[in-house]
Chains A and B, each alone.
Chain A
């Protein structure tokens, strides 16, 4: 039934009001022609910068929390205000001869006592630069500044570095959509202690108090 009615209706419409169907085409042709004329008249016309920028959004930067500044070592001395005096690494190390045999603070008779090192089988001079104690050293001996410590870590932790560069490792704050805001990413040593990089145990916060999480102690496991 429907099939027979439908063509009949279309035919009658086409026959009765042909102009109604032609009108949009005519309008389109007119508009296209006028646009063509306009473009031909002004070949140098540029798309406004604002529109161009909106069409191709640019990412805002990812910022990185810097590593710690060049460290200073606490001494037992106090200044006149009673504040502890700190010393630069080179204060002592410029005169003391580096000993590559030293593997941990326990090997030392004085200084750095109690410093715990649990980082694979690394020794002090694996990372600290015995030519300039105010810097660190890469495996090839090249110095690297303390704030750029990630370059040093990445030498051994290649898989973590790969994950980090793809946003799959390491905490962050800010925007997932970087066309709308910046992102601030953690540095390796913001979360890991370089000397003891494994995460320490912590006490969990916010114990649940709802009736589903908190099962009665006697409930059998199924």
Chain B
């Protein structure tokens, strides 16, 4: 029986076989899926110039190439956001290693620091993005995972304390270890930076960071022209492209010029202390030597350059 079925001729002779129909259907579906799959690429291509595509890694750019890149980025900002921005590349100073300390006894959770970061670093307005997340914590726990960052009631609540968390600029940053393309690294002054034009947006670093300090640009940042901070730098607050990671840089465009970070200047309680860890006369050193210091997730051994302290 079975041999007879196989050997029997096909029921039709006009070329419309069952096999051909399935083949055609398969090919159509395949093509459609392919077209759908590459659709984002065609959209994305419009915003990526050849120059940008061919740009070298930040560390491999010569001084001349870097200038070309900076002026190209300024032109792009003008075209896309309608603002004359000034993008510099300010380098780490020798003999400086930045440290930051925050007084948990006085922080009142007002989130003015997060707002200052939002404005200073040209964050996307719609998402209220900021490099600082303030956790409302219950007394008796120092576990940031149990904190609530989404509070709306008046602060400070009497039975709570407030834990602002931003990049801790680890001595052994796990986010740098996991980056598959070396788009992020630790600078000589201790700041962990990202080359936004080299980042492929895989978000490994976001997953690796135990402080949840990295942010992803899901969408192209939307900022009104008059709200854009025009004083920008390549490694910090220039407007990021879509699809790349970003993080707190201790406002390196300010701090490498000797100025205080924006979140410190905005703090209405004076909870923040910033300075050079290598200068024994600095305020930050006084705090480290005289206050009770708490290091967030110290057991991970990442050696943050961010310290929390309490008034005694």
Chain A contact residues, CB within 8 Å of chain B: 159, 163, 166-177, 179-181, 183, 186, 191, 199, 201-210, 212-215, 221-222
Stretch at the interface among B45-53, B143-151, B167-175: B143-151
B128 partner, pick from A172, A207, A212, A221, beta carbons under 8 A: A207
Question: Are B114 and A176 in contact, CB atoms less than 8 angstroms apart?
Answer: no
Question: Are B270 and A166 in contact, CB atoms less than 8 angstroms apart?
Answer: no
Question: Are B128 and A208 in contact, CB atoms less than 8 angstroms apart?
Answer: yes
Question: Are B154 and A174 in contact, CB atoms less than 8 angstroms apart?
Answer: no
Question: Are B260 and A205 in contact, CB atoms less than 8 angstroms apart?
Answer: no
Question: Are B255 and A176 in contact, CB atoms less than 8 angstroms apart?
Answer: yes
Q: Is the interface of A mostly helix, strand, loop or mixed?
A: loop
Q: List the A side residues contacting B134 at CB < 8 Å.
A: 204
The 7 closest A-B pairs by CB, nearest first: A167-B283, A180-B258, A177-B258, A213-B149, A171-B270, A201-B154, A170-B270
Q: How far is the CA of A210 from the CA of B275 in the complex (A)?
A: 30
Q: List the A side residues contacting B221 at CB < 8 Å.
A: none
Q: How far is the CA of A203 from the CA of B157 in the complex (A)?
A: 11
Question: Are B258 and A176 in contact, CB atoms less than 8 angstroms apart?
Answer: yes
Question: Are A204 and B155 in contact, CB atoms less than 8 angstroms apart?
Answer: yes
Q: How far is the CA of A85 from the CA of B107 in the complex (A)?
A: 39
> Given A205-B112, A206-B115, A209-B128: A176 and B149 within 8 A (CB)?
no
Least Cβ distance of A2 to chain B in Å?
Answer: 33
Least Cβ distance of A116 to chain B in Å?
Answer: 18
Residue on A with the closest CB to B96?
A177
> Given A163-B311, A175-B258, A201-B155: A169 and B111 within 8 A (CB)?
no
Q: How far is the CA of A208 from the CA of B130 in the complex (A)?
A: 8
23 contacts between A and B (CB under 8 A): A166-B290, A168-B287, A168-B309, A169-B270, A171-B270, A172-B265, A173-B260, A173-B265, A183-B260, A201-B156, A202-B110, A203-B152, A203-B154, A203-B155, A204-B155, A205-B110, A205-B111, A208-B114, A212-B133, A212-B212, A213-B149, A221-B146, A222-B145
Which residue, of A180, A186, A199, A205, has the highest number of chain B Cβ atoms within 10 A?
Answer: A205
In chain B, residues 259-273, which have Cβ atoms closer than 8 Å to a Cβ of chain A?
Answer: 259-260, 264-265, 267-270, 273
